[in-house]
Structure 1
């Protein structure tokens, strides 16, 4: 029962979903008026590029026997998917969320790109940082930054996010997907770019 629950946590909070959750969170909290057609177009585009396209690419890579599982369990499996994801995020920045439209989301995705590049470099040197923790920690830092930026009280949400971060880390350890140091480095790689980039939009 516990094993199934922890597997479910890893699946529900999959790294692919975190950029989209960041966009949804932003649109749900921003006090700025954004026309509904633009909001829907941005959400649709981000969903296609950051969720649907990577899934299709994963199945292509699996067919070509470049990856074995969706969790990318070895550093060699990670390299090509991470590299492709860098190009996808760059496409989001250029075509969907340019800096002059929604700067908060632009710098959020810059942070995501930096974290992804860092994770790729670590994979090249045979270190398997937790992609789950990178994605979740980056989203957490962005949510905290939005609360400060817009002066809104989301203490309950932040508390829930802390519990979720702990649950993800517990899940990855229980499933023997990562060592503690890989979770710690993953958290650092996810949070730091978002923290550094605060200087550009807060």
Structure 2
């Protein structure tokens, strides 16, 4: 029972979902007027590019034997998907979220790109970090920054996010997917770029 619960946490809070979650969270909290049609278009585009497209490309890579499993358990398996993900994020920054439209989301995705490239660089030197923690920690920092930026109280949300971060780390440890140092490294790789980029938009 516990094993199934911890395994489900890894799927529910999968890294592919975090960019979309950040976009939805922004639109739900921003006091600025943004036409509903624009919000729906952005959410739809991000859904296609950050979830559907990577899944389709994963199955292509699996078909040609470049990856073995959806979990990308080895650093060798991670390299091509991380390169693809970096290119997708660059496409989003150019076509979906240019800096002059929604600066907060633009810099959120810049942070995601920096984290992705850092993770790729570490994979190239055969050091494995937790992509789950990278994605969750990045979203966590972005949510805190939005609360400060818009002067809104999201203490309950932040407390829930802390519990979720702990649950994700526990899940990855229980499933023997990562060591504590890999989880800690992933947390910093996800959190620090978002923290540094606050200087440009907060």
Question: What is the TM-score with the length of structure 2 in the denominator?
Answer: 1.00
1:108 maps to 2:108: yes
Q: What's the RMSD between the two structures over aligned residues?
A: 0.3
Q: Match for residue 50 of structure 1? A: 50
Q: 2: CA distance between counterparts of 1:131 and 1:29?
A: 26
In the alignment, which residue of structure 1 is the partner of 2:84? 84
State the match for 2:154 in structure 1: 154
Residue 61 in structure 1 maps to residue 86 in structure 2: no
Shift of 1:198: 0.1
What does 1:173-184 align with in structure 2 at a 5 Å threshold? 173-184=173-184
Q: Structure 1: which 5+ runs fail to align?
A: none
CA distance in 2, matches of 1:16, 1:120: 16
Structure 1 residues 160-188: Cα deviation after superposition (integer angstroms, max 9, x where no partner): 00000000000000000000000000000
State the partner residue of 2:70.
Answer: 70
1:5 positional shift:
0.2
* 1:172 corresponds to 2:172: yes
TM-score (normalised: structure 1): 1.00
Q: What per-residue deviation string (whole Å, max 9, x for no partner) do you get for residues 48-91 of structure 1?
A: 00000000000000001101111100000000000000000000
Partner secondary structure for residue 149 of structure 1: helix
Tell me which stretches of 4 or more aligned residues in structure 1 moved more than 3 Å.
none
> What count of residue pairs does the alignment treat as equivalent?
202
| 3-state SS, counterpart of residue 126 of structure 2 | coil
Q: In 2, Cα distance between the equivalents of 1:20 and 1:65? A: 28
- Shift of the alpha carbon at 1:145? 0.2
Q: CA deviation at 1:43?
A: 0.4
**Separation (CA, whole Å) in 1 of partners of 2:152 and 2:18:** 21
CA distance in 2, matches of 1:64, 1:16: 22
